[in-house]
């Protein structure tokens, strides 16, 4: 239950804000009532206006690999804000961060900065269409690439009766206000299914501007790719002349210094980054080989933005990357080790609770807990059919009452930061064991 000050803010907020918040996943639809209004954060902890403390496993939807208020980030923002917040001119730090990105990501020769994952994806899709002269976009069930009309299709979990045949999914736009023309060239394919991919490429590959995929499915919990699946996708893209677009918004500077591309040995034609890239400030980028990225030159494929390459955010990106890369990438190793320890620890707790079917899935610093009777959740259809989302919400809200914050939506995931500790993992495991005992 939210405390009295949060309740009072919610009563005021819902009079002037839609659902009292600015994004549905922060409001009553997720929390079943008033959300907790947070006042500040420090390290791995958040504090609400009622003075309650939470161990935060959500980390601003993945935007905070260094945790809250990291001293270097706080210092950088204070120093740079005193020199001016935003110039919308060319900047030295813009060149420096671009150089760092190009040095870190072998498949990226040029970058363009944007502010959010959605914006970067919109520009990337336009670039793919502009570069190839083709219209179709091939995307996968349950994959989210931002809230743009053309790809906001089959991103929500629907009842199994609405999914359609696995070879020919029913396409469902996830919002009203999206005209059919916007997504008529969007082909939706079952993910992690080699045959479905071969079939879709044989049918549509020659007309496809790009095939876009999340490297690890991160918007239906955490679902890793089957061995060789993304590599086959890349091969098929090369064969049919479609660009291979790896959306690293969640996974970039999270799972490894080189994201999923490094983890699975991929050479995507286009990548987009967001979330962690900004270390807590709005920052995103589109990257790829010069030959493709040059399509954006002189506005041939247009991408504008008053706030592109915001200087405060770029300074934070720089210090965040320097911090994670120091000591031969020790920060990235720490993120991964903590995530893997957490996954192992909560698996142990889940294993000893014989009243609830639980599967824990994780990759590096990301993990999710599924209440399910299934041994594994390997795609969107598994999620829609076998995951008890209501039970997960109950679980997460009970954990929250014990001071552990995991987002109550089963479609999301939890993440470690370098501010988390082994003691935090033990504390979470203890709270989780208690909650599982209390749950009906």
Residues of this chain that bind ligand PMP (CB under 6 A):
116-118, 121, 144-146, 214, 218-219, 247, 249-250, 274
- Using the minimum distance from each CB to ligand PMP, give the nearer residue, 117 or 169: 117
Closer by beta carbon to ligand PMP, 2 or else 64: 64
- Residue located via tokens 């939506």: 409
- Edge to edge, the sheet with strand 136-140 lists 110-114, 284-288, 270-273, 243-247, 208-214, 136-140, 186-189
**Segments in 205-244 forming alpha helices (H):** 229-240
CB of 385 to ligand PMP, least distance (A): 22
Backbone angles phi, psi at 54, to 5 degrees: -130, 135
Q: Identify whether 144 is a catalytic site residue.
A: yes
Q: Give the pair of three-digit tokens for residue 98.
A: 């671009």
Residue with tokens 């320890």: 341
Q: In whole angstroms, how close is the CB of 261 to ligand PMP at the nearest point?
A: 14
240 annotated active-site: no
Catalytic residue, from 56, 136, 139, 144: name it.
144
- Secondary structure (DSSP) of 152-204: -BS-S---GGGSEETTEEPP-BSSTT--HHHHTTEEEE-TT-HHHHHHHHHHH
Question: Residue 235 and residue 401: Cα distance in Å, rounded?
Answer: 48
Beta carbon nearer to ligand PMP, 154 or 218? 218
Report which residue's Cβ sits closest to ligand PMP. 117
Q: In whole angstroms, what is the distance from residue 236 CA to residue 210 CA?
A: 11
- Between residues 117 and 157, which has the closer beta carbon with respect to ligand PMP? 117
- Could you say which of 48, 56, 193, 247 is catalytic? 247
Would you state the structure tokens that stand for residue 345, as one six-digit string?
């620890």
For residues 245-257, b (16+ Cβ closer than 10 Å) or e, as one string? bbbbbbbbbbbbb
Say how many CA atoms lie within 13 Å of 5 toward its Cβ. 9
Please state the closest distance from residue 327 (CB atom) to ligand PMP, in A. 29
* Residue located via tokens 């902890």: 45
Using the minimum distance from each CB to ligand PMP, give the nearer residue, 117 or 287: 117
Considering the complex, what minimum distance in angstroms separates the CB of residue 354 from ligand PMP?
34
Smallest separation, CB 250 to ligand PMP (Å): 5
Confirm whether 300 is a catalytic residue: no
Which residue number, 119 or 394, has a Cβ lying nearer to ligand PMP?
119
Structure tokens at 124: 């990337």
Count of residues in the chain: 440
Cβ proximity to ligand PMP, 169 vs 282, nearer residue: 282
CB atoms within 10 A of CB 103: 9
**Using alpha carbons only, how large is the chain's radius of gyration in Å?**
21
CB of 423 to ligand PMP, least distance (A): 29
Q: Could you say which DSSP state residue 294 is in?
A: G
Q: Which residues pair with 164 in a beta bridge?
A: 169
Residue 274: CB minimum distance to ligand PMP, A: 4
Within 194-283, strands assigned E span: 208-214, 243-247, 270-273
Q: For ligand PMP, which is the closer residue by CB, 124 or 349? A: 124
User: SS3 string of 252-306?
Assistant: ECCCECCHHHHHHCCCCCEEEECHHHHECECCEEEEECHHHHHHHHHHCCCCCCC
CB of 25 to ligand PMP, least distance (A): 9
- Residues with a catalytic annotation lie at 144, 247, 275
């Amino acid at each position: 239950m939210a405390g009295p000050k949060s309740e009072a803010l919610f009563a005021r907020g819902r009079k002037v804000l839609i659902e009292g918040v600015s994004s549905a996943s922060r409001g009553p639809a997720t929390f079943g009532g008033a959300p907790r209004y947070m006042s500040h954060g420090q390290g791995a902890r958040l504090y609400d206006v009622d003075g309650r403390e939470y161990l935060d496993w959500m980390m601003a939807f993945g935007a905070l690999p260094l945790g809250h208020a990291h001293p270097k980030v706080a210092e950088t923002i204070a120093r740079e804000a005193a020199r001016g917040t935003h110039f919308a001119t060319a900047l030295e730090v813009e060149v420096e961060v671009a150089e760092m990105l190009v040095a870190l990501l072998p498949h990226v020769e040029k970058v363009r900065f944007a502010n959010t994952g959605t914006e970067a994806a919109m520009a990337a899709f336009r670039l793919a269409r502009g570069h190839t002269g083709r219209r179709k976009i091939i995307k996968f069930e349950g994959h989210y690439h931002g809230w743009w009309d053309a790809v906001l299709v089959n991103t929500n979990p629907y009842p199994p009766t609405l999914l359609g045949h696995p070879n020919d999914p029913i396409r469902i736009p996830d919002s009203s206000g999206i005209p059919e023309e916007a997504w008529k060239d969007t082909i939706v394919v079952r993910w992690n299914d080699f045959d479905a991919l071969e079939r879709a490429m044989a049918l549509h590959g020659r007309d496809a501007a790009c095939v876009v995929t999340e490297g690890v499915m991160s918007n239906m919990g955490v679902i890793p790719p089957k061995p060789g699946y993304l590599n086959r996708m890349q091969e098929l893209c090369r064969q049919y002349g479609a660009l291979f677009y790896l959306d690293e918004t969640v996974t970039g500077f999270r799972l490894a210094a080189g994201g999923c591309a490094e983890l699975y040995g991929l050479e995507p034609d286009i990548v987009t980054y967001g979330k962690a890239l900004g270390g807590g400030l709005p920052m995103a980028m589109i990257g790829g080989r010069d030959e493709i990225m040059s399509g954006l030159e002189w506005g041939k494929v247009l991408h504008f933005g008053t706030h592109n390459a915001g200087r405060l955010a770029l300074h934070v990106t720089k210090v965040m990357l320097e911090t994670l890369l120091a000591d031969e990438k020790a920060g990235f190793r720490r993120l991964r080790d903590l995530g893997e320890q957490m996954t192992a620890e909560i698996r142990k707790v889940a294993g000893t609770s014989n009243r609830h079917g639980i599967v824990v899935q994780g990759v590096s610093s990301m993990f999710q807990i599924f209440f399910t009777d299934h041994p594994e959740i390997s795609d969107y259809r598994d999620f829609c059919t076998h995951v008890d989302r209501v039970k997960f919400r109950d679980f997460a809200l009970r954990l929250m009452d014990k001071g552990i914050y995991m987002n109550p939506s089963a479609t999301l995931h939890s993440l470690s930061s370098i501010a988390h500790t082994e003691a935090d993992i033990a504390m979470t495991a203890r709270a989780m064991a208690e909650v599982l005992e209390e749950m009906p």
